[in-house]
Amino acid sequence: MSESDCAFFPGYPLVVRWVAAVTGNVVVAGVLVSNAAFVGAVAQLGACGGRAAAVALCISPASVFFSTCYAESLFALFAFAGLNCRHRREQWKAAIAFAAAATVRSNGCLLAAFVVTLDLPASLVRVGIVALPGLVHDALNRARFCAVAPRFCAKWPPRSFYRRAQRRYWNVGLLRYWRLRQLPNFCLGAPAIALSASKLTFSPIGLHCAATILLLLLVAHVQISTRVLAASTIPFHAAIADRLTTPPMLLYLVAFAVFGTAAHVNFLPFT
């Protein structure tokens, strides 16, 4: 493991490794995990977001990422399972599901907002549960890499190795992606962002989606917007469901399914 790998969370690789111990092949294990998790994610989204949203997830423009060796399916399973638990007012189960999501992707920490209630002490504990995977991930990275970055580790207050890796190796940071040469990537993420924004409401689900959009626009690599929004937000799927039979939506879905898949498997910039 190198320092640049600190930018990635271990949940998905660990599950794939466990399954690979049975299948004997990492690639087969990855495909099995992704596709099985996707089926579960569709079921969970259908329970908390409705049948139309579940259908929209099945034909998502990010579908290639749900069937290959990517973390999106597993993250979506845990995120939508947590939302389903919250829908049933099972806040502690929701916190555990969101914590599982936070082992897969860093934006899982945003899901902590869903477990905040008027019971402040209990809410703080639940938020701590969701935040714990990120804290453990960073602590392990500090223990592993402080020998090669002693000056960074000596700073007070302690700095995040995850943030250091994202900034140093992946050019992730506030407005760091706002360059003219990145305009094509903004165009790639624009449809997903616009669709999600069109269904925002003043509600926990709407506010979480808005926070995710801001993170994508201001901090992250904006071209990942399609898969990030598809894996964690209900408004994105609701917007697709509302426009499913319109020519622009059909063109969007077909274009991303065909050209996006072709670009992805040829390692072209479709992320």
In the chain, what percentage of residues exceed pLDDT 70? 99
Give the span between the Cα atoms of 181 and 225, in whole angstroms.
Answer: 18
Query: How does pLDDT run across 110-147, given as a tens digit for each residue?
Result: 999 999 998 999 999 999 999 999 999 999 988 888 87
Residue 122 resides in a domain: yes
Is residue 107 over pLDDT 90?
Answer: yes
Query: How does pLDDT run across 223-253, given as a tens digit for each residue?
Result: 999 999 999 999 999 999 999 989 999 999 9
Of 22-31, 103-112, 147-156, 240-249, least confident by mean pLDDT is 147-156
Mean pLDDT of the chain: 92
Residue 186 resides in a domain: yes
Residue 271 resides in a domain: no
**Which has the closest alpha carbon to 104: 67, 72, 62?**
72
* Overall domain count for the chain: 1
Q: Which sign, positive or negative, has the C-alpha torsion 110, 6, 66, 184?
A: positive
pTM as predicted: 0.94
Residue 270 resides in a domain: no
- Domain limits at 257? 3-265
Residue 86 resides in a domain: yes
